[in-house]
Amino acid sequence: MNIMKTGNVNFIRAAIVDDDENFRRLTFQELEKHPQIEYLAEFSSCEKFWRSDEKDNFDFVFLDISMPGLTGIELIEMMQIKNIKGKIIMLTNLDSEDTIFKAIKHGAVGYLWKSEIYSIKDTIDVVLNGGAMISPTIALKILNSYRAEENTEPSETKLTVRERQVLEILAKGLKSENVSKEMHISVNTVKKHIRNIYEKLQVKNRVELMSAAKKSGII
């Protein structure tokens, strides 16, 4: 699906990269309301975006993080290496500090909750005026992370993006099978991540894990 407009306005070409068809459609509907949007394209995976001949031609890329195959973080790392200039806005439900920092480090200029999709027009306007947009709740999480940094053990900062995602889902009280389904990875891979998490946080059971994660601000 795409839209095109004509005229003398400085129009914007934008891409939506998300494996959730319903959310892609919602994002599309919100973006097409912006008067400067000229062209919109949808991609259901990072791989499809990366294979597209258009990937160098977008002014904005609205990108989910947690997707099967290549993640959004991996995609923006690839875009940075290839010097692809599209402005990246992360639209996600993940709020781990590690994920946020990596997204910003590799060039994201916006980080919004998916529930805040209705404010996406304001995000575009802020970025067009040279600014960046981060949800207030996410900005607060970043501040709290800096404040807690001195009290964080080195081992607690070594969790990978995937391990943090697993931990965030476990914190909801879900089992390995649920984590597997939600992250689209095998149960064996989930269990491997869990073993690594236990070792890095130096815990022996789920109760100790949740306590250590909350104490360090990971969840």
Tell me: the pLDDT tens digits for 46-68?
999 999 999 999 999 999 988 88
Sheet holding 12-17, edge to edge: 37-43, 12-17, 60-63, 87-92, 108-113, 133-134
Are 39 and 2 in contact by the 8 Å Cβ rule? The answer is yes
pTM: 0.61
The pLDDT value recorded for residue 159 is 85
Structural domains of the chain, ranges and CATH numbers in brackets: 12-144 (3.40.50.2300), 153-215 (1.10.10.10)
Lowest average pLDDT, out of 149-153, 159-163, 184-188, goes to: 149-153
Contacts of 95 (CB under 8 A, 6+ apart): 113, 137, 138, 141
φ and ψ of 50, to 5 deg:
-65, -35
Percent of the chain predicted with pLDDT > 90: 29
**Beta-bridge partner residues of 42:** 16
Is 219 a residue whose pLDDT tops 80? no
Q: Is the pLDDT of residue 150 over 90?
A: no
When pLDDT is averaged across residues 98-102 and rounded to a whole number, the result is 79
Q: pLDDT band at 25, cuts 50/70/90?
A: very high
| Residue listed under structure tokens 């781990």 | 96
Write down the mean pLDDT value for the chain. 83
The pLDDT confidence band at residue 18, using thresholds 50, 70 and 90, is very high
- For position 101, what pLDDT does the model report? 79
**Which has the minimum average pLDDT: 5-14, 72-81, 84-93, 144-153?**
144-153
Q: 182 vs 178, 185, 213, CA distance in Å?
A: 6, 8, 20
Is residue 109 over pLDDT 60?
Answer: yes
Give whole-number Cα distances, 150 to 143, 154, 161, 199, 218, in Å.
13, 10, 21, 21, 14
